[in-house]
Structure 1
């Protein structure tokens, strides 16, 4: 039986993380399991409080917020599993979640990573993720399959390759990381798992969706108000992703598309909504890409 390491990152929400840990203890029957919790720059060290309530996990503390990738990479360094199951701390498991994913990786060594179907915690009949379409390098866009759809089993027969795993729940074969290495940390927020999946595929592995097993995600159905922080990283990292992964011709087409289509469209939207703060973040993100290399860690 392969050893599985569950890796989750906590940032100022130890109570939410403990709900995940209780979910694992309550519902998971897979025996060869370890849990690694990374406290990623919380305002106060929350590892002691979590350990008091759930002593069976490994706890790691970073005094600095290293971002989504950096926090998970700390977990990778401490994990001993053959398979690494990266999960957001605001998720909860079904009983067969781990065993179903392990079975898929066990049966085919060419599969580098696999994600379950993800449903919304408060509305489990609504799908959040049932795979991703391929990235259009010319526009920097792709689609999350099934999002906001009523789950009527329409994707349950689609066991097999998908373009990208979902960062909220993805199980990765350790051997598949020999060439790609750890998760790219220069994204900080958004797109890092997609870049990682690109590297895993280029190392000769496939990315799969396991739609008959699920995980519940406590993310809201409504995205909520846009923030300058999100606007900055979504814009910055979309451009960075294309720069790092697309062929040269597609990068050129993307730049033209972004200049003459995306920028005017977004500016009109910012003006109509009177969100000049978002316009400022948008242009800062573009300027970052004009002044930084693709391997820069400066935010």
Structure 2
């Protein structure tokens, strides 16, 4: 892997935003980018509407025109809702078809607000760390509460920790737990949230675009894994900060995120990730370890009369979509569990 040339003086940045029925939030996200765009003339945004069917396109297009954002913002109406990966790939392809050649692509969820100076913080970090192919930011909720976490790649022991939800087990397997609490300084990590993720364009040229077989969830995990295998680093950079009103596009927000049934595409994406990256035997083993650990948690919950905060039908849905019962991979470009 060759190191990139120094382009921090006038970097070309593409901000990619995928909207699905959250026009108001997407407009607010664009509004938060105004000052960033003024400070970085080489930056622009492409927002892809994933067939929302609720006049999102009209509202976003009107805001772009009326507020004078058309110098740097472009709306693309996708005829289908192909998911997060496909939407972002469409944004990148649209920019390149128009002659764009970005040095960096910054993925932002429509329910995010960029804090002032965050683009510069990311660009400076990437320029100072030529092996960094991906950088994630500090996230804050709408009340300003920091969410200082990054993630470890899914693993067999990680599935045990996730399923058991038992203090002694979590302490024993703390170095395998998926969620990793971070400090105040930049640090290398396995993967970061796709809600705010800056990607070096050279990485995309090397490992390819995001895998469109994922409809939603695990696609950024997969991208970070492919980057790792190709010799790139992924970093958590808390000097850049983005407010994230989590789950607005999926509908999994607040208390509903605990109570509501998890969508089929989450389980489909999880299974595909393990099958693609580790093979059928590993995927089946991961499923068995989670199921056994989860059953142990359910038994402990009953004995201790603990409150059940699991999503409805969690175990049944997990088994139904597991590699134990379904081992196929999707056809290229056809997302699993798409709607």
Tell me, in whole angstroms, the C-alpha distance in 2 between the residues paired with 1:277 and 1:62: 33
Tell me, in whole angstroms, the C-alpha distance in 1 between the residues paired with 2:56 and 2:284: 46
Give CA deviations for 1:166-222 in whole Å, capped at 9, x if unaligned: 110000001101232111122211111001100011111000111122111112783
- Greater shift in the superposed pair: 100-109 or 81-90: 100-109
Tell me, in whole angstroms, the C-alpha distance in 2 between the residues paired with 1:38 and 1:72: 7
- Is 1:43 aligned to 2:53, yes or no? yes
Residues 192/267 of structure 1: CA separation in 2 closer, same or farther (3 Å cut): farther
Counterpart of 2:178 in structure 1 is 143
Residues 177/266 of structure 1: CA separation in 2 closer, same or farther (3 Å cut): farther
Counterpart of 2:105 in structure 1 is 84
SS at match of 2:84: helix
Tell me, in whole angstroms, the C-alpha distance in 2 between the residues paired with 1:137 and 1:216: 32
Partner of residue 146 from structure 2, selected from 127, 132, 151 = 127
Counterpart of 2:304 in structure 1 is none
SS at match of 1:186: coil
Tell me, in whole angstroms, the C-alpha distance in 2 between the residues paired with 1:223 and 1:200: 34
Tell me, in whole angstroms, the C-alpha distance in 2 between the residues paired with 1:111 and 1:121: 29
User: TM-score normalized by structure 1?
Assistant: 0.83
Partner of residue 118 from structure 2, selected from 91, 94, 97 = 97
The answer as to whether partners of 2:135 and 2:234 remain within 8 angstroms in 1 is yes
1:1-299 equivalences under 5 Å are 1-26=10-35, 29-55=39-65, 56=70, 57-79=73-95, 80=100, 81-122=102-143, 124=144, 126-140=145-159, 142-146=177-181, 155-157=183-185, 159-219=186-246, 222-224=254-256, 225-230=258-263, 232-246=264-278, 250-251=282-283, 253-262=285-294, 277-286=313-322, 290-293=326-329, 297=334, 298-299=336-337
The answer as to whether partners of 1:187 and 1:237 remain within 8 angstroms in 2 is yes
Tell me, in whole angstroms, the C-alpha distance in 2 between the residues paired with 1:22 and 1:274: 37
The answer as to whether partners of 1:85 and 1:170 remain within 8 angstroms in 2 is yes
Query: What stretches of structure 1 of length at least 5 have no aligned partner?
Result: 147-153
- Greater shift in the superposed pair: 212-221 or 86-95: 212-221
Give CA deviations for 1:50-104 in whole Å, capped at 9, x if unaligned: 1221132111111211111111111111233210000001111111110110111
Tell me, in whole angstroms, the C-alpha distance in 2 between the residues paired with 1:121 and 1:217: 7
RMSD: 3.1
Tell me, in whole angstroms, the C-alpha distance in 2 between the residues paired with 1:50 and 1:86: 18
Tell me, in whole angstroms, the C-alpha distance in 1 between the residues paired with 2:324 and 2:62: 43
Deviation at 1:293, TM superposition (A): 2.3
Tell me, in whole angstroms, the C-alpha distance in 2 between the residues paired with 1:286 and 1:208: 31
Deviation at 1:223, TM superposition (A): 4.8
Task: Kindly tell me the number of residue pairs found equivalent between the two proteins.
Answer: 288
The answer as to whether partners of 1:138 and 1:251 remain within 8 angstroms in 2 is no
The answer as to whether partners of 1:70 and 1:185 remain within 8 angstroms in 2 is yes
The answer as to whether partners of 2:36 and 2:119 remain within 8 angstroms in 1 is no
The answer as to whether partners of 2:262 and 2:312 remain within 8 angstroms in 1 is no
